[in-house]
């Protein structure tokens, strides 16, 4: 398991957090924790109530809706933001397909940080729009 400095360096290097000032990054880091998953572990389960927002520090995950892979997420990408935003059940399973290390934060911690640091919400929104565009242009939608 990597120490907090390692997590800090990784979080600082991911595009989603790259616009944050060092103080905000530090505040954010302090409120989350690292979690490790084995290949095959379901990190988030479709239909359940979720309280976590996850950022992948290392590894690879598949987003599966009713068992069908709809997206693959790698280092620097996040998941769990949808339930965080609307309090609805998880929209999909997110399954580690390699040993995967995440930085995870409760939705209420992340939501209150977003109020203080709106740039966090803007960064998240950019990625959400990117995913929506990808979903709209996929042949199955």
What are the residues binding ligand CMP (CB under 6 A)?
A: 44, 50, 63, 70-71, 79-83, 90-92, 94, 131, 135
**Nearer Cβ to ligand CMP (6/16):** 16
CB closer to ligand CMP out of 29 and 124: 124
Q: In the Cβ-directed half-sphere of 37, how many Cα atoms lie within 13 Å?
A: 24
| Residue placing its CB nearer to ligand CMP in the complex, 5 or 140 | 140
Residue 66 in 3-state DSSP? coil
Beta carbons of 2 and 36 less than 8 angstroms apart:
no
Q: How far apart are CA 81 and CA 51, in angstroms?
A: 10
In angstroms, give the least distance from the CB of 139 to ligand CMP: 13
96 pairs with which residues across the strands? 61
| Alpha carbon of residue 4 to chain centroid | 18
The minimum distance between CB 10 and ligand CMP, in angstroms, equals: 19
Select 91 or 100, whichever has its Cβ closest to ligand CMP: 91
**Least distance CB 46 / ligand CMP (angstroms):** 7
What is the arrangement of strands in the sheet containing 33-37, beginning at the earlier edge strand?
33-37, 100-106, 52-58, 78-79
Tell the smallest beta-carbon distance from residue 52 to ligand CMP (Å): 8
């Amino acid at each position: 398991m990597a120490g907090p400095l390692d997590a800090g360096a990784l979080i600082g290097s991911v595009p989603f957090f790259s616009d944050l000032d060092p103080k905000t990054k530090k505040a954010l880091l302090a409120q989350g924790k690292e979690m490790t998953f084995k290949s095959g572990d379901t990190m988030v389960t479709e239909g359940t109530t979720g309280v976590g927002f996850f950022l992948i520090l290392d590894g690879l995950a598949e987003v599966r809706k009713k068992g069908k892979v709809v997206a693959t997420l790698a280092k620097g990408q996040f998941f769990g933001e949808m339930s965080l935003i609307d309090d609805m059940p998880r929209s999909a399973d997110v399954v580690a397909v390699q040993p995967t290390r995440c930085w995870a934060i409760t939705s209420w911690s992340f939501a209150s940080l977003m109020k203080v640091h709106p740039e966090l919400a803007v960064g998240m929104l950019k990625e959400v729009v990117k995913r929506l565009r990808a979903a709209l242009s996929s042949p199955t939608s």
